[in-house]
Amino acid sequence: MSYEHSARFYDLFGARDDGDFLAELAARCGGPALVAGAGTAREALVLADAGLEVVAFDASPAMLAVAAGKVAERKLARRVRLVRADARRFHFRRRFPLVVALNVFDHFVADGDAAAALRNVKGHLAPGGRAVLNANTPAWRPNVDPTEEARTPGNRRVTRRVKFAPTTRRNVYAVELWFDVFRRDQLVERHLEKSDARLFRPDELRRLAASAGLTVEDTYSNFAGTRFKAGDGRAVFIFK
């Protein structure tokens, strides 16, 4: 998914609950932090607010443009560096005590994508550092409201409809995001973003991480720190 049409709507939908978790990791690990698949700089801004210098990268120019606007508005350009890069093949000439890759592994659909990203995470992790990433597991069931509504900063009404469908590939499902923008009740824009998304068995990700040289410190099923147990639909891993 390029997020070309939907980047500007990204922050309007889907409440996130990872802020305190990230702030705690920032305090524990220190910086600089590397954020992979940084999107609209959501996590990067939390880490910068916690006092860390941040390098945040993403593959999508549209997402990076939104991120740049937020970083400029918050006057954080000296603390948050935004870079266009691919998580499967990025290379920065430094190592980071904290690496964050949230809500990105779903995008690693092709065989080898997740393994390549994990090797790069390991390659950029400073000795003693921690990496946090999450994934949906095969027990995951969509719990998003299929149609949500929000208001743009310009006070236009936007609806997002989400459709999930199985594909012929095991643990890969198709996602469609439909965005409708209304001006006074008139439909003025309609955008569709489509992609496949991948579910990971926790043991599969742990195995790939181990091959990359990472060890699991903890696995949670949410950002409130609940320990992961078999049958949970979300997994949050802390690797070292």
Coil vs helix vs strand at 116: helix
Q: What is the C-alpha separation between 87 and 29, in angstroms, rounded?
A: 21
Contact 13, 150 (CB under 8 A): yes
Distance between CA atoms of 194 and 177, rounded to whole angstroms? Answer: 6
Q: Does 140 bind ligand SAM (CB under 6 A)?
A: no
Q: Is 155 left (phi over 0), alpha (psi -120 to 50) or beta?
A: left
Binding ligand SAM (rule: CB under 6 A), the pick from 30, 31, 39, 129 is: 39
Question: Would you state the structure tokens that stand for residue 197, as one six-digit string?
Answer: 């998304």
Q: Residue from 21, 26, 30, 60 that binds ligand SAM (CB under 6 A)?
A: 60
> Which residue lies nearer to ligand SAM by CB, 42 or 130?
42
Q: Is 86 in the site for ligand SAM (CB under 6 A)?
A: yes
Q: Which residues of 196-220 are buried (b: 16+ CB within 10 A; e: fewer)?
A: ebbbbebeebbebbeebebeeeebb
User: Which one of 57-65, 124-132, 204-212, 228-236 is the stretch in contact with ligand SAM (CB under 6 A)?
Assistant: 57-65
Applying CB under 6 A, among 107, 122, 160, 198 the residue interacting with ligand SAM is 107
Burial class (CB in 10 A: 0-12, 13-18, 19+), 2: middle
Looking at beta carbons only, is 38 or 82 nearer to ligand SAM? 38
Of the candidate residues 26, 47, 50, 88, the single one contacting ligand SAM (CB under 6 A): 88
Q: Does 102 bind ligand SAM (CB under 6 A)?
A: yes
Piece in contact with ligand SAM (CB under 6 A), picked from 38-46, 147-155, 182-190, 221-229? 38-46
Nearer to ligand SAM, 68 or 182 (CB): 68
Between 103 and 171, name the residue whose CB sits nearer to ligand SAM: 103
State which H helix or E strand residue 20 sits in: helix 19-29
Q: Which residues bind ligand SAM (CB under 6 A)?
A: 3, 37-39, 42-43, 58-60, 63, 86-88, 102-104, 107
